[in-house]
Structure 1
């Protein structure tokens, strides 16, 4: 079963144990979901034609675009942003935001690398790095929930602090020499011919899909995003869920840090720069509303793929790298504008 429709809870929805009507439709869609009223009426369905159009255009203009090696390269490139974006779908669907994910990715990768190079067991170092990511997310969540700090301000400050810690910790020097076969496997290995990072990405997607569409947790997250006060009045533990969502993004960022560091066999102080922008773009392009209450994991996956394909295509076409940010920024602006227009239409309809 695929995430064939955007999962949305209105302000008047009571997040009780009974499955939401939209969730019931998701379960019944089946083959019928690939209709005008099913998949193609969803956020994921609306962005898919855009993605296919971009792929078709690049296929005609870039000779090497459709080669097996390049497609594999695109998959590898989208893994890191996708893993974080799947978790960020919960944060943004809840009405929050996390700008610290890129810095968390870099810091946890650096932390793992430092432990390994200092003789710590590889698997123990990986666990420590993942726990560090969870800790960063926990601190963000507690500050936002307990002190009422704006998620934007809190995570922006966290991003700046963590980038500073990275430079102090590394002195701006990359940590190299991570050519250990056990560690390399995570970023360069394969399972039945499929790259390990791609397998991890698929597993993270599956776990997030289950949480969002098959559990009360997912419904509660979107209920908080739709109407925080109503969610509180019906007994949802807002504090617990809000903190747990930021812990989830911290863990996902650390997991991306593991895969990225393993692939590069080095921990770069400037690693994962601007990941937070790509993550937000992927989530919003995919149909998750910045105002909360609506989320689409399939849309996020397509959005992340679109970002990776655009970057790859620009490289193949030898477009000046200074223009890359212009293009990506334009995509984000269009996506946010579309989200604002859609929100206004829903408000009028209500």
Structure 2
């Protein structure tokens, strides 16, 4: 290995953390309102949704896939939960109506997200549809189902039960931060310490070799997409709880922030390489960038330009790192 390759190998381990430190320093110098506890907790609350989405996206990309449907699944799972809380579900055949409890509705939302993820996995493994196309189709399907379920109007007034997930604090830490932190710890353990985690890396690193080694590649892929769907539903529940409302257009464009966080965090788009911790750093970079641009009164249109540029730079660095391996 030559000196240049060694440099890129070592630099790639800390580049995201270095970028985060430099960005925090720059924003602190540009705005005296940035480095405050109130703004810090606000950033943590805001990124909690993206952390949930990005953990699932990390698992998918590690396996060599992509999931463009996470934002729409977020919206549909949140809408299902809100709708079941607000009104009973009629069963005409039995002449009865079923009223869900808050926790029953939450469980239903999670199951919906997992089912949509399972459907993505089946389309990819059974019908051999490329992940980009399959999940792009699900993006449209889930968004359409959300509009049909809500009839295009927000579902509001969801009660105190659901508010616990998004607006309460425990020991001074907002509940969304607790949820995101628990998921991060869980999936760090899964990727580092379990057989399933090793299998996901193996499939993403070289699918053919993994198949020849006796791994059930299709099953692993389906599991990964189900996890991504379930985590999208968790993100939807947090957002719905925070807003006390299920919005038909919730989560639009969130798949871009999720992919950006994963790539910025050092996960290779080719699969087989990356960490959950790196993704969390990527989410923090996106959150700090968003907060700083708002505090600096940067136009929302320019914010989109800046975020798109950050994604391009991150992908370019990823390509350079791979070429030097």
> TM range, normalised to the smaller chain?
over 0.9
1:328 is the counterpart of 2:307: yes
Q: Map of 1:286-297 to 2, 5 A cutoff?
A: 286-297=265-276
TM-score (norm 2): 0.92
Alpha-carbon distance in structure 2 between the residues aligned to 1:293 and 1:252 = 20
Show structure 1 runs of 5+ residues with no match. Answer: 1-36
Computed over aligned residues only, the root mean square deviation of the Cα atoms, in angstroms, reads 1.3
Secondary structure in 1 matching 2:156? coil
Secondary structure in 1 matching 2:126? helix
1:301 is the counterpart of 2:280: yes
Deviations 1:177-207 (A, max 9, x none): 12x2221111011111111110111110011
Change in CA separation of 1:41 and 1:248 when aligned onto 2, cut-off 3 Å: same
- Aligned with 2:60 (options 91, 98, 106): 91
Alpha-carbon distance in structure 2 between the residues aligned to 1:117 and 1:309 = 36
- 2:96 alignment partner in structure 1: none
- 1:52 alignment partner in structure 2: 21
Show structure 2 runs of 5+ residues with no match. Answer: 1-5, 88-98
Secondary structure in 2 matching 1:148? coil
Alpha-carbon distance in structure 2 between the residues aligned to 1:105 and 1:43 = 31
Q: Map of 1:55-204 to 2, 5 A cutoff?
A: 55-118=24-87, 119-178=99-158, 180-204=159-183
Secondary structure in 1 matching 2:324? helix
Deviates further, 245-254 or 78-87: 78-87
- 1:238 alignment partner in structure 2: 217
Please state how far the C-alpha of 1:312 moved relative to its aligned partner. Answer: 0.7
Please state how far the C-alpha of 1:250 moved relative to its aligned partner. Answer: 0.3
Number of equivalenced pairs: 307
Alpha-carbon distance in structure 1 between the residues aligned to 2:282 and 2:260 = 7
Alpha-carbon distance in structure 2 between the residues aligned to 1:43 and 1:105 = 31
TM-score (norm 1): 0.86
Please state how far the C-alpha of 1:42 moved relative to its aligned partner. Answer: 6.6
Q: Do the aligned residues in 2 keep the contact of 1:43 with 1:296 (CA within 8 Å)? A: no
